[in-house]
Amino acid sequence: MKTLEELKVKIFADGADPRLIRALSLNPLIEGFTTNPTLMRKAGVTDYESFATEILKIVPYRPVSFEVFADELEEMEEQALEMASWGTNVNVKIPVTNTRGTFTGPLVRRLSKAGVQVNVTACMGLDQVKAVADVLAPGTPAFVSVFAGRIADSGRDPLPIMAEAVRILEARPKARLIWASPRELLNIFHADAVGCHVITVTADILEKLSLVGKDLAEYSQETVRMFYRDAKSAGYHIRVKLKVLDG
């Protein structure tokens, strides 16, 4: 298997806790950061702009994605232009549709043509990836986030879908495919294998990076010891009524 250093896929940390983002910013394996309104709400963020200002002070150079939260395309555009002005490393996340299913392509086209670095998010179908690729300006960097984890949650194998998405985006050399919403550490290696440019990873999965390449016999022994230790700590006891079998 590949080591973490041999992976070509870039790892972006996904979250909204400034303390955690500060700690992860010291990790050379983390090459960018993403967040979204749901993660921000869970983290207790109440002031969007103050939060963004704090994060950009922590991460002044690596890519950072902030998401618009309006539902009307005109208001999305206003928010996107404001967010883009916060820093040259800001990527503005635009959902692939609004809540009524209206494709945001016309807005993405205008923003990308104007030089705004977008991150088109919540994509799940190849038809969406193709439609997004068609509206991206060839000369403007962009991300396209395909929620592979949610595709897997639906019982579908995301690997062939992500591989085809990589192929579709070849028509836009400055566009980068993001494997979004991973469900396990192995997804980092899946994303690398199919040629994804980026994978966004939450803190619970990032904590497992130290396990990559771990000796499985040692891991097995540690697991047995954990079960034994926890049983002892819990004070479990069984009154044995039968003799141990001979042989």
What is the overall mean pLDDT for the chain? 96
Instruction: Over range 210-221, report the average pLDDT.
Output: 96
Q: Which tokens in the block code for residue 110?
A: 């205008």
**79-102 per-position pLDDT tens digit:** 999 999 999 999 999 999 999 999
Q: If pLDDT is split at 50, 70 and 90, which confidence band does 247 have?
A: low
The answer to whether position 47 is within a domain reads: yes
Q: With 90 as the cut, is the pLDDT of residue 243 above it?
A: no
Q: With 70 as the cut, is the pLDDT of residue 245 above it?
A: yes
Q: Do residues 17 and 11 lie in contact, with contact meaning Cβ atoms separated by under 8 Å?
A: no
The answer to whether position 87 is within a domain reads: yes
The answer to whether position 203 is within a domain reads: yes
Q: If pLDDT is split at 50, 70 and 90, which confidence band does 138 have?
A: very high
Residue 182 makes CB contacts below 8 A (sequence gap 6+) with: 148, 149, 188, 191, 199, 200, 201, 202, 205
pTM attached to this predicted model: 0.94
Query: What is the C-alpha R_g of the chain?
Result: 22
CA distance 22 to 16: 11
The answer to whether position 232 is within a domain reads: no
Number of domains in the chain: 1
CA distance 1 to 125: 30
The enclosing domain of 25 has a CATH number of: 3.20.20.70
Give the pLDDT confidence score for residue 49 in this predicted structure: 97
Residues annotated catalytic, as ranges: 93
Give the pLDDT confidence score for residue 82 in this predicted structure: 98
The answer to whether position 110 is within a domain reads: yes
Instruction: Over range 180-189, report the average pLDDT.
Output: 97
CA distance 66 to 92: 5
Residue 78 makes CB contacts below 8 A (sequence gap 6+) with: 70
The answer to whether position 81 is within a domain reads: yes
What domain range includes position 141?
4-214
Give the pLDDT confidence score for residue 125 in this predicted structure: 96
Q: Which tokens in the block code for residue 184?
A: 């396990």
The answer to whether position 224 is within a domain reads: no
Q: With 80 as the cut, is the pLDDT of residue 13 above it?
A: yes
The answer to whether position 237 is within a domain reads: no
